[in-house]
């Protein structure tokens, strides 16, 4: 197996035909076909099968494509890292994962920060639920990400940054009429929509509810971020979540939020990356920017959380983010 074969594999998978893949790679089609045939002989599996529209990958082909993409991506990271080690300014592509609840302000803020300080870094953001961001970090599909469940992940390094609070969020008629903090038992009794237990947020909620001797009034169980948001917007149910969730006054569907207490629900938010993959210089700068913006968001009240950045980490980052150090 070699890099030419992996490039050929990914090209055929993405283009859906041998002719289009050969054109993309600027090689003749017979040469491309030989690359795939060589892989199939070596691995003793069929990678593609013909369809009316071209070719489609078999399950073996799909699995190998996943590996190939990671290998080719790691090669690109190594190439960029060695190139930028000779340059004064970090440059290259960096892929990160962000939970959808923080993407609206952390994503644009990080892009703007990099444009000002490190314009040669090209940032690519993968959005998902909090558990998904942890999974793609753990599997090495991204270089780093914001994850709430770093302690649950294998072979992951992490820096704790914030300890966030959970809120009951929804239409005012469901969350109110009172304002201010709300006991967990009372919040759990409101009609709720939550993700299932494959998600870290749900597991944290369930643990606290059981410990408090309360019971969830779970009206809907859905995992899709847009479905969760839409059901809350329509006033069909409330959600228990962290609070970078937008509550702007100019929303078509107003929301109210009340912090949950007695007991208070909190969880640790970290910046995490795969232990077996050293961060490239561009990825280190992106990590620093992520930490900076998370701290600023908490201190400004945009992210309802306490800063827990370890003192030794503050000192380590002092040279690149001096205004964070008080």
Predicted local confidence at residue 254, as pLDDT: 79
What is the C-alpha separation between 269 and 272, in angstroms, rounded?
A: 9
Asked if 122 contacts 110 with a C-beta cutoff of 8 angstroms, the reply is no
In percent, the amount of the chain with pLDDT more than 70 equals 87
The reported pLDDT for the residue numbered 88 is 67
pLDDT at residue number 314: 64
CB atoms closer than 10 angstroms to residue 56:
13
The pLDDT score that the predictor gives to residue 324 is 43
Answer whether 295's CB lies under 8 Å from 161's CB.
Answer: yes
pLDDT of residue 83: 65
On whether the CB atoms of residues 261 and 183 are closer than 8 A, the answer is yes
Q: In the prediction, which pLDDT does 222 show?
A: 93
Q: Is the distance from CB of 125 to CB of 98 less than 8 angstroms?
A: yes
SS3 labels along 139-170:
CCCCCEEEECCHHHCCCEEEEEEEEEEEEEEE
Strands 144-147 and 266-274: antiparallel
Q: Name the average pLDDT for the chain.
A: 84
Residue 4 in tokens: 């030419």
Q: Using alpha carbons, list the distances in angstroms from residue 262 to 155, 184, 188, 257, 270.
A: 35, 6, 12, 16, 25
Mean pLDDT in order along the chain per 10 residues (326 residues): 88 89 88 89 89 86 86 74 65 87 86 92 84 70 83 81 93 89 95 90 91 94 89 93 62 82 91 83 90 89 87 62 47
Strand pairing partners for 166? 242
Domains with residue ranges and CATH for the chain: 3-78 (1.10.10.10), 85-163+267-324 (3.40.190.10), 164-266 (3.40.190.290)
pLDDT at 75: 78
Which pTM does this prediction carry?
0.68
104 to 11, 99, 193, 294: CA distances (angstroms): 33, 10, 21, 13
**Tokens 């090689």 label which residue?**
27
pLDDT at residue number 287: 92
Identify the pLDDT of residue 260: 95
């Amino acid at each position: 197996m070699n890099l030419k074969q992996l490039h050929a594999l990914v090209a055929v998978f993405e283009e859906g035909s041998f002719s289009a893949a050969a054109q993309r790679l600027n090689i003749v089609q017979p040469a491309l076909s030989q690359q795939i045939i060589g892989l199939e002989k070596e691995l003793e599996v069929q990678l593609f099968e013909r369809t009316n529209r071209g070719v489609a990958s078999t399950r073996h082909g799909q699995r190998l494509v996943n590996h190939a993409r990671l290998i080719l991506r790691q090669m690109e990271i190594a190439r960029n890292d060695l190139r930028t080690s000779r340059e004064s300014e970090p440059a290259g592509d960096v892929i990160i994962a962000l939970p959808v609840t923080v993407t609206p302000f952390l994503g644009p803020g990080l892009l703007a920060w990099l444009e000002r300080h490190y314009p040669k870094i090209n940032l690519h953001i993968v959005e998902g639920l909090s558990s998904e961001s942890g999974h793609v970090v753990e599997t090495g599909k991204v270089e780093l990400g914001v994850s709430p469940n770093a302690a649950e992940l294998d072979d992951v390094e992490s820096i704790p940054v914030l300890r966030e609070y959970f809120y009951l969020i929804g239409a005012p008629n469901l969350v109110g009429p009172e304002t201010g903090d709300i006991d967990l038992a009372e919040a759990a009794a409101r009609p709720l929509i939550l993700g299932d237990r494959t998600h870290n947020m749900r597991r944290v909620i369930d643990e606290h509810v059981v410990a408090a001797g309360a019971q969830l009034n779970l009206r809907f169980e859905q995992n899709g971020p847009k479905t969760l948001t839409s059901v809350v917007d329509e006033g069909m149910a409330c959600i228990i979540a962290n609070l970078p969730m937008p509550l702007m006054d100019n929303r078509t569907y107003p929301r109210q939020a009340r912090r949950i207490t007695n007991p208070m629900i909190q969880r640790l938010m970290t910046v995490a990356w795969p232990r077996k993959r050293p961060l490239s210089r561009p990825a280190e700068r992106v990590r620093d920017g992520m930490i900076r913006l998370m701290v600023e968001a908490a201190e400004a009240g945009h992210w309802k959380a306490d800063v827990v950045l370890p003192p030794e980490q503050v000192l380590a980052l002092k040279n690149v983010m001096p205004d964070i150090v008080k």
